Structure 1
Amino acid sequence: MSDDGTEARTEPGDAPAAAAALCARFIELLPVQGVSISVVGAPAHSTIGASDTVAARAEELQFELGEGPHWEALRGGQAVLVPDLDERDQSWPVFGAAVRELGVGALFAFPMFMGAVTVGVVDMYRSTPGGLDARAIATARTLAASTAGAALRLAARSASEDSVARGALTPEMRREVHQATGMILAQLQVTATEAFSRLQAHAYSTGQTVEFVAHEVVARRLSFRN
């Protein structure tokens, strides 16, 4: 469905352009400056697109740090509204500090559903504090519902087509993160959760993205063995 109740459609062709069109619908109809859309499930948690570099980095920070409204929306299946980031700073101390440096004042995360299953999240930000009124919240929920199917199709297409162009606003499906987690697990003889935590910690402590560190591990340029 679109905002008028019909399902959002994506035409065959350029995947980044199709993802950008999905993001643009939220910006056109809501008082937000930026949007990112991600899906979960096989083969991995993936960001299909973001409207700008701030939206892309805000979503990436949540993935790297494991905290933020994105994860709360994903776990709880409910929209998470943060009209003033300073007021929720204690909920996500590391992420809150990092995302404010990007010039973000408010955050909103809306889960996407297929039936009763949460299949992804739409993350939105405002550059200044400010909430969404009841009408905007209803519109955001409708848009998230209408975007779910198209987002899943784009994610599946990106996973199966090696030739799909990927840019800074459409991060690659995170296959390497899972590969790297498995390699760290074998290197350290720890659980998968602990292996991923080590990957996150290294990325944060070195100021790099999780994807970059994972690539270095998979390329065998970085080992976690003592």
Structure 2
Amino acid sequence: MRPRDEHRGERGRECAGAADAIADGVRDVGPGDIPARLCDVAVRLLPVTGASVSLHSDGMPVQLGANNAQAAYVTEIQATLGDGPCQSAAESGAPVLACDLTAGRDVLRWPVFAQQATAAGVRAAYSMPLGNDTVCVGTLDLYRDTPGDLTDHDLRTARLMAGMMTVALMALSRMDEVGEPDDERWLSGLGADHDHVYQATGMIMAQLGVGTDEALARLRAHAFAHGRTALDVAQDVVAHRLRFDRDQDQP
């Protein structure tokens, strides 16, 4: 066998092994648990300690699942800041690898996110776009507690995981459209908490007389200034525990 053919054969075996692990990971799992279960599989297959999956809508990541609290929190940090590898991956439609959040170019590129992430115990973050060559619908975000690159093998596996995430989310989306028994809305239910962000944005628009972008920026700024997530602050706004006033420079 020629070296090129051997290389292709090795890649094929790698993909087959990863596909088998993915299939085993989601076997007998309800639709609503699939995103989190795929995050578990990603952590088993890759040299990472955390994984989360999010849809991206109007610049705000909507987290659908994570394998642990740390991954969920760091993804919420990116949603609060409106900045970080997942935002860059969603905008570019290409993988974004922040291999060292403790020093160097990654810190210069995302200084606030890097500080917040390292404070939470994350030293590297890798974001894989979900979708196709023309449309990015979300990201698979991978985290680990030590700096370092992904090998070519790791990157192929991460891309395969992102492809499987995309297929799963599209299947869940179709289930939402056609309806399952008892009209279970799995995908809508997974992102239900983030409805508060959109509701709060609308309320802030009315309170301040500003547009959507400004209202969302105010929400994020308030959350960051008070060491909270955008989702936490949005829930307070919707519950009328917090109001944004026109006569305040900052909420």
Same structural fold, with TM-score higher than 0.5 when normalized by the shorter chain: yes
Greater share of helix: 2
Equivalent residue, structure 1, for 2:239: 219
Gaps of 5+ in 1: none
Distance in 2, Cα, partners of 1:125 & 1:13: 24
Q: Whole-Å Cα distance in 1 between the matches of residues 80 and 49 of structure 2? A: 22
Q: Work out whether 1:70 is the aligned partner of 2:86.
A: yes
Equivalent residue letter for 2:142: M
Gaps of 5+ in 2: 1-13, 178-182
Contact 1:111 1:119 in 2 (8 A): yes
Larger Cα-atom Rg: 2
Match of residue 74, structure 2, among 58, 65, 82: 58
Name the CA distance, whole Å, in 2 between partners of 1:19 and 1:163. Answer: 11
Question: Which whole-Å CA distance do the structure 1 matches of 2:70 and 2:90 have between them?
Answer: 21
Aligned residue for 2:211? 191
Paired residues of 2:31 and 2:186 also in contact (CA < 8 A): no
Deviation digits for residues 27-60 of structure 1, max 9, x if unmatched?
Answer: 1211111100111349x74211111111111100
**Higher relative contact order by CA 8 Å / sep ≥ 6: 1 or 2?**
1
Contact 2:36–2:52 (Cα < 8 Å) also in 1: no
Q: Which residue identity does 2:201 align to in structure 1?
A: T
Per-residue deviation at 1:158? 8.5
> What secondary structure is seen at the aligned counterpart in 2 of 1:84?
coil
Q: Contact conserved, 1:15 with 1:158, CA < 8 A, in 2?
A: no
Aligned residues: 220
CA deviation profile, 1:93-120 (whole Å, cap 9, x unmatched): 1111111011111110010114631111
C-alpha deviation, 1:217, in angstroms: 1.1
**1:31 counterpart (38, 41, 47):** 47
The partner residue of 1:85 within 101, 108, 113 is 101
The two structures have a TM-score, normalised by structure 1, of 0.85
Partner residue of 1:49? 65
1:145 alignment counterpart: 163
TM-align CA RMSD = 2.9
Residue 22 of structure 1 aligns with which residue?
38
Q: Could you tell me how far 1:204 is from its partner in structure 2? A: 1.2
Q: TM-score, normalised by structure 2?
A: 0.77
Is residue 131 from structure 1 mapped to residue 163 from structure 2 by the alignment?
Answer: no
Of the structure 1 ranges 86-95 and 178-187, higher mean CA displacement relative to structure 2 is found in 86-95
Aligned CA distance change for structure 1 residues 12 and 29 (closer, same or farther; 3 Å): closer
